[in-house]
A and B are shown apart, each in its own frame.
Chain A
């Protein structure tokens, strides 16, 4: 049939996939290998691909070198969770309006939301810094949560809107015929039906919130105890020496939360995130 490959073609495809995946996964593999090597052997010359004394020591030592490491991981998860909850509170009603209602300035306002994606935080950092300073939120969790929410609202609306559009209208119309109000219909008919979509969009927002913390953290927060992991990791670069192996171990530990969530939901996530790419 059409999809059949010759042996040679199969070998070619797998070889190409392997090369592609090596490029994608090499940094992770290197981080893992580095985390296993004792510090003094990192500097061995000539370069060695394999050490005979790999150990998981760094994974226990890292908690002592950077005593706040646990706190950093907690902060990361906490900030990302708060950002996700807040974002969804703003996103759900707005996405429903764009998916279902007709109103003046609909396309224009959607364009404004999506236009926000054009500015990363870096462009707006200066006034944001001053705003946060003048209302006294600098060096608090809020300094990292509020900008995070603003930059995830557009993506959230976009993703959830395309999901809501796929829910058949008939159910809502039936509720209207029975005399239900708009708000009641939204709460009791649409939201329950949209639960899978809410989970996918919520997860996507969480992953985004977990990923974007670095810039806001290094700019708006000087308080060590509040620092999220991506910023806190740089503490392994000390005055005396850099405990590279522990830094790598901590980095890998830090991506564990998102990787676990991702592995569980990856099938739905990929479909949800790329929904806009497929013609309806």
Chain B
């Protein structure tokens, strides 16, 4: 305790009544939130791990060791699901980042009306995903959706095209819907980062005759690099875990074409009451996300060092 107080900067006033030490007071403040998280998140997580070694259903449970995992490792279908999940994640995150960068650059341009544009970009972020997906269900409908309608009018397809009925088109349609949900957040974070870049840098470059593209590449991008990296991590986690979008559009179909790990887990555990097998899948998700995040945090550290922020 004495070490702590000594390490604090000199001259900071402390409360005079010595009833509570700083550490005790702090933990009293954090305690309730920590306890709540422990009960609702940490404990179920531990329980998920326990259940993954069980054959568990609505009836009872029985210890089966690694059998659930073994089934998964041997299953070709499951391997396909993992590959699909990562493909889904990389494709969707890449699109979100590119669109977010373009969007933020546009909204950052000093043109009249940009305040309005910024407001109009936000709706997909703030409304319930389930409701946004109802809109996309409609858009993707072959008979009355405007996409199929436009294609028919232009003569690209002869008849109605059901976007969600074919394996390929369903997958990419779900990606587009996911990008739609995620792009506003990415855009607005990039925009905030861009607006935080010192104007002096741009003016100095401008005086030296640097063009817009050069300034974008050499000033904007490096300056907002830490935000780009942390946003890509956040979006990757969100996209990996994205459930509602796929569930509402396709429920993982047609024939498994849009079944990602999270959808597979939900179907197994909640749909078929195979709690043990579902838990094994959930544990694999946690491990994959954990490894992925650690990798990313190291990249972030490296980027921060390279671009000189803390």
Which residues of chain A come closer than 8 Å to B32, judged between CB atoms? 89-90, 93-94
Chain A residue at smallest Cβ distance from B107: A17
Q: Are A14 and B192 within 8 A (Cβ)?
A: no
CA separation between A179 and B17, bound complex, in Å?
A: 7
B71 CB–A CB distance under 8 Å? no
Mask of A167-180 contacts with B, CB within 8 angstroms, 1/0? 00100011011011
Q: Are B22 and A103 within 8 A (Cβ)?
A: yes
CA separation between A129 and B275, bound complex, in Å?
A: 10
* Number of interface residues, chain B, beta carbon within 8 A: 102
Q: Are B33 and A214 within 8 A (Cβ)?
A: no
Chain A interface: which of B83-91, B111-119, B165-173? B111-119
Contact of A120 among B30, B117, B262 (CB under 8 A): B262
B221 CB–A CB distance under 8 Å? no
Residue of A20, A91, A154, A271 contacting most chain B CB atoms (<10 Å): A20
Mask of A1-30 contacts with B, CB within 8 angstroms, 1/0? 011010000100110110011011111101
Q: Are B124 and A230 within 8 A (Cβ)?
A: no
Q: Given A13-B109, A27-B139, A90-B32, are A34 and B144 neighbors across the interface (CB < 8 Å)?
A: yes
CA separation between A49 and B149, bound complex, in Å?
A: 8
Q: Are B144 and A47 within 8 A (Cβ)?
A: yes
Q: Are A28 and B146 within 8 A (Cβ)?
A: no
Mask of A104-129 contacts with B, CB within 8 angstroms, 1/0? 10100100110011111011111111
CA separation between A23 and B227, bound complex, in Å?
A: 24
Taking the closest CB of chain A, its distance from the CB of B42, in whole angstroms, is 8
CA separation between A275 and B188, bound complex, in Å?
A: 11
Q: Given A28-B135, A45-B143, A119-B41, are A233 and B241 neighbors across the interface (CB < 8 Å)?
A: no
Among B121-154, those with CB < 8 Å from A are 121-124, 126-132, 134-136, 138-139, 143-146, 148-149, 152-153
Contact of B130 among A104, A122, A231, A273 (CB under 8 A): A231
Contact of A116 among B41, B123, B189 (CB under 8 A): B41
CA separation between A213 and B143, bound complex, in Å?
A: 30
Taking the closest CB of chain A, its distance from the CB of B290, in whole angstroms, is 8
Q: Given A24-B123, A230-B128, A259-B127, are A113 and B37 neighbors across the interface (CB < 8 Å)?
A: yes
Q: Are A279 and B309 within 8 A (Cβ)?
A: yes
Q: Given A20-B106, A266-B122, are A120 and B241 neighbors across the interface (CB < 8 Å)?
A: yes
Main secondary structure of the interface of B (DSSP, over half): helix
Residue of A42, A273, A279 contacting most chain B CB atoms (<10 Å): A279
Which residues of chain B come closer than 8 Å to A182, judged between CB atoms? 15, 20, 25
Q: Given A126-B51, A181-B17, are A157 and B33 neighbors across the interface (CB < 8 Å)?
A: yes
Which residues of chain A come closer than 8 Å to B275, judged between CB atoms? 126, 130
CA separation between A163 and B286, bound complex, in Å?
A: 31
Chain B interface: which of A54-62, A63-71, A193-201, A246-254? A246-254
Taking the closest CB of chain B, its distance from the CB of A235, in whole angstroms, is 12
Main secondary structure of the interface of A (DSSP, over half): helix
A74 CB–B CB distance under 8 Å? no
A140 CB–B CB distance under 8 Å? no
CA separation between A131 and B289, bound complex, in Å?
A: 24
Which residues of chain A come closer than 8 Å to B41, judged between CB atoms? 116, 119, 124, 150-151
Q: How large is the interface on A (under 10, 10 to 19, 20 to 34, 35 or more residues)?
A: 35 or more
Taking the closest CB of chain B, its distance from the CB of A199, in whole angstroms, is 16
Q: Are A278 and B193 within 8 A (Cβ)?
A: yes
CA separation between A116 and B290, bound complex, in Å?
A: 11
CA separation between A251 and B30, bound complex, in Å?
A: 38
Q: Given A122-B265, A153-B33, A233-B134, are A27 and B26 neighbors across the interface (CB < 8 Å)?
A: no
Q: Are A102 and B8 within 8 A (Cβ)?
A: yes
Q: Given A20-B102, A21-B121, A24-B123, are A123 and B15 neighbors across the interface (CB < 8 Å)?
A: no
Which residues of chain B come closer than 8 Å to A263, judged between CB atoms? 119
Chain A residue at smallest Cβ distance from B190: A277
Q: Are A273 and B188 within 8 A (Cβ)?
A: yes
Which residues of chain A come closer than 8 Å to B117, judged between CB atoms? 17, 21
Q: Given A94-B29, A185-B15, are A214 and B244 neighbors across the interface (CB < 8 Å)?
A: yes
Q: Given A120-B262, A213-B128, A214-B130, are A103 and B45 neighbors across the interface (CB < 8 Å)?
A: no
Taking the closest CB of chain A, its distance from the CB of B14, in whole angstroms, is 6
Taking the closest CB of chain B, its distance from the CB of A241, in whole angstroms, is 13
Binding site for B on A (CB under 8 A): 2-3, 5, 10, 13-14, 16-17, 20-21, 23-28, 30-31, 34, 42-43, 45-49, 89-91, 93-94, 96-98, 101-104, 106, 109, 112-113, 116-120, 122-131, 146-147, 149-151, 153-154, 157, 169, 173-174, 176-177, 179-182, 185, 207, 210-215, 219, 229-231, 233, 244, 247-248, 251, 254-255, 258-259, 262-263, 266, 270-271, 273-275, 277-279
Question: Closest 5 interchain pairs by CB?
Answer: A27-B135, A47-B149, A274-B192, A230-B130, A127-B44
Knowing that A118-B290, A122-B262, A213-B128 are A-B contacts, what are 4 other residue pairs whose CB atoms are under 8 Å apart, sorted by A's residue number? A17-B117, A20-B99, A123-B286, A127-B47
